[in-house]
Amino acid sequence: MSQPLIVECPTCGAPVEWNEKSPNRPFCSDRCKLIDLGAWASEDHAIPGSPLEDDVFSADLDAPPRGH
């Protein structure tokens, strides 16, 4: 029988078994999962890349609307 895969919780570093017994995997708990979600929501975490322009906020207000 093989050993279960053990990963570190991305938030606190606690060991987490990667199986059905750990419903919050890769996090050790619901609390750590929510801390991570809050970090994404407050933009503490971000995927690197060039910023995207948003047509709604960067459109010239005097220009005619574009057809899509």
54 labelled binding-site residue: no
Please name every residue paired with 40 in a beta bridge, in sequence order, or none if there are none: none
d(CA 20, CA 58) in angstroms, rounded, equals 46
Cis, bond preceding 10 (omega within 30 deg of 0): no
3 labelled binding-site residue: no
32 labelled binding-site residue: yes
27 labelled binding-site residue: no
Binding-site residue ranges for Zn(2+): 9, 12, 28, 32
Binding site members: 9, 12, 28, 32
